Amino acid sequence: MALRVPEPATETAPPVRKGFTRRQALAAAVATGVGVGAVRLLGGTIQNITRSGSASGTDWVSPLSRESARVAQLLRRTTFGYTQAQLDSALSDGFSKTVDRLLETKPQEPPVLAAAGTPGGRFSPQQLQQWWVDHILTTSTPFAERMTLFWHGHFTSDYRKTGDNTFMYWQNLTWRRMALTNLGPMLLQVTTDPAMLRYLDLATSTGQSPNENYSRELMELFTMGAGNYTEDDVRQSAKALAGWQQPPPDSIATVTVDKAKMVTQKLPVYSTQKPGVFNPKRAYKGTVTFLGKSGSLDTQGVIDRILAQPATAPFIASKVVEHFVTTRPVKSYITRLGDAFRQSKYDVKTLMRAVLTSPEFTADGSYRALLKSPTEFMVNGARALGATNLGKLIVAAGSGMGQSLFDPPDVGGWPNNAAWISSNTVVERVNFVTVALAQSKASLPSSRDAAQQHLDGVLSPQTAKLLTQAPDERSRWFVTLASPEFQLK
């Protein structure tokens, strides 16, 4: 666990430290753009493109001057990968039209999860995970799922503490519907979301004895970032936010929880999705001083004050950039995006359009600057193989790579990029490929163009060598999907 949203890098390169290990030299060389010399595989032949440079590190040679590479990168970052047909379709539309299509197509709703009617939401988390993964695998609007995953990691909750998987299901439906809407209504929604009411304890907070958990994370993790409010602001907004409770159920079911001992329990049953309800009797009656202003304040008032803070727009912009563009944004980029976001009155679609169409998104320096999350990696792999039967494997394999859906490590959501790499996770990633290929009984798609389609033909010498040595179709797919290139986006 670490701070999830780092300070944007300054415009200048970091100072070079003495006593470099090979590993540091490599990282520094790449970061400062010194190191060069890499290998491309173009149309099945290996070209060694070496530029002068004394550092030991090498960087990928960016192919982003080509429209086709820009489109492929766009899809890798905004969807969960592609089949050949999906790539061909986007390539014929071109970059701009593909951005429009991603942003303007209405999200396809997932099928109704019948288990959501289970009293108390007591169905298995695997059922919930399976339902979502199957939808991610088959949806016609994968960008909506990518954004839903982004918000699931941002306004996060886990099934363990929430203790009601119907509420977790609702939260997922909510982020899909609101993914490209507006931050203000999203903040009101997350504050009154039944899963969140439990996950961060707002449902048990009262004006008389407020619980600070939600109040703190609303500012620290959801909107402004640490350092932009005081401890007193946390306490004051905890008072102002108190009073929300879980929605009343549509009925109560008596369920036998222990047959042997004849233990029964009364559990809530919901037939439709509902937000939390406000109980004025539990609210705080007095005035508060919050973020520099005094007066009586309700939940909407708290949200309005947060939206009026200059820290909020760049905080969200910075998080989006870390997930979609680069881990090392310059300050001016974040400022520019934050300004556009705030001027649009926090319209998420405006922010996403600004991000996807920014020169930074397709700059050579952003090529392979991000690491696919475990879910992205696995679904990308399944799509590349044209396999639709890997849902169960994807659900089971995520935790060893550090990502189990509906079960983030903590309230900060999932870490990203470099934090996905460890001796444990790399083994699990390779194992996924091995087992996915073993489970793909049906004939595999031809691997002839795989390196071009999925890796832009930009290969490390090792990947190129192993691909040419691979004796058969399965081996070539193994090398392609287990390669470092395929982990990146």
Partner 1 sequence: MSKEIGINQLKRRDFLQAGLVFGAGAAGLAAGYAAVPDAFARAVYAAKQNGVANDNVLVMIQLAGGNDGLRTLVPLTDPTLHDLRPKLAGPMVSQALPLTTDFGLNHNLGGIKSLWDKGKVAIVQGVGYPNPTFSHFESIRIWETGDPTRRQVDGWLGRTLAKAYDSNGHPLTGCACGATDVPGALRDLQATMTVIQNQKTFGFSGGSEVEAAVGALYKGTPGIYGALFDTAIATANDTIATLRTSSASYQPMADYSDKVQLVYSSKNQLAAALQLAAELIVTGTGVKLLHVTLGGFDTHYTELNRHDDLMGYLDSAVSAFYQDLAAHGKADKVLIATWSEFGRRPKENASGGTDHGAAAPLLLIGDPVKSGLYGAEPSLTSLDATGNLKFAVDFRSVYQEILGSHLGADANEILGASFDRIPFLNAPVAVA
Task: Judge whether 333 and 321 are in contact, CB under 8 Å.
Answer: yes
Least Cβ distance, residue 466 to partner 1 (angstroms):
6
Identify which of residues 99 and 203 has a Cβ nearer to partner 1 in the complex: 203
In sequence order, the β-bridge partners of residue 264 are: 256
User: Min. distance of Cβ 106 from partner 1 in angstroms?
Assistant: 32
Distance CA 240, CA 255 (A): 37
Using DSSP's 3-state secondary structure scheme, residue 244 falls into strand
Please report how close the Cβ of residue 474 comes to partner 1 at its closest, in angstroms.
5
Q: Nearest distance from residue 220's CB to partner 1, in Å?
A: 6
Cα–Cα nearest to 140, from 179, 76, 86 = 86
The minimum distance between CB 465 and partner 1, in angstroms, equals 8
Closest distance of CB 39 from partner 1, Å: 8
Burial tier of 421 (Cβ tally within 10 Å: 0-12, 13-18, 19+): middle
Of the two residues 89 and 422, which places its CB atom closer to partner 1 in the complex?
422
Instruction: Report the distance separating Cα 481 and Cα 461, nearest Å.
Output: 16
For the chain, the helix, strand and coil percentages under 3-state DSSP, each to the nearest 5: 55, 10, 40
Rg of the chain over Cα atoms, rounded to whole angstroms, equals 24
DSSP code, position 120: G
Nearest to 219 by CA among 119, 105, 309: 309
Please state the closest distance from residue 468 (CB atom) to partner 1, in A: 10
Find the shortest distance in angstroms from Cβ 463 to partner 1. 6
Is 61:40 a contact under the CB 8 Å cutoff? yes
For residue 165, CA distances in Å to 168, 255, 375, 456 come to: 5, 16, 20, 41
Query: Of 197 and 355, which has the nearer Cβ to partner 1?
Result: 197
Minimum CB separation of residue 350 from partner 1 in Å reads 29
Pick between residue 112 and residue 226 the one whose CB is nearest to partner 1.
226
In the complex with partner 1, the residue whose CB is nearer, 5 or 103, is: 5
Q: Residue 22 or 281: which CB sits closer to partner 1?
A: 22
User: Is 131 in contact with 159 (CB distance < 8 Å)?
Assistant: no
Among 447, 440, 451, 439, CA closest to 475: 447
CA distance linking residue 299 with residue 210, whole number of Å: 14
Looking at the DSSP bridge assignments, the partners of residue 403 are none
DSSP 399: G
Contact status, residue 413 vs residue 4, Cβ threshold 8 Å: yes
Beta carbon of residue 123, minimum distance to partner 1 (angstroms, whole number): 11
Q: Which is nearer to partner 1, 95 or 478 (CB)?
A: 478
Closer to partner 1 by Cβ: residue 206 or 273:
206
Q: How far is the CB of 94 from partner 1 (least distance, A)?
A: 27
Q: What angle do CA 218, 107, 124 make, to 5 degrees?
A: 65
Kindly tell me which of 91 and 419 has the beta carbon lying closer to partner 1.
Answer: 419
- Do the beta carbons of residue 327 and residue 369 sit within 8 Å? yes
Looking up tokens 């507006």 gives 182
Q: How many Cβ atoms are within 10 Å of 54's Cβ, its own excluded?
A: 8
Q: Is the CB of 143 or the CB of 420 nearer to partner 1?
A: 420
Of 121 and 142, the one with the shorter C-beta distance to partner 1 is 121
CA 353, CA 291: separation in Å to the nearest integer?
31
Residue number with CB closer to partner 1 (147 or 397)? 397
Q: How far is CA 28 from CA 4, 56, 249, 461, in A?
A: 22, 10, 57, 21
Q: How many CB atoms lie within 10 A of CB 413?
A: 20
Minimum distance of partner 1 from residue 203's CB (angstroms): 9
Selection from 2, 35, 3, 29 nearest residue 14 by Cα: 29
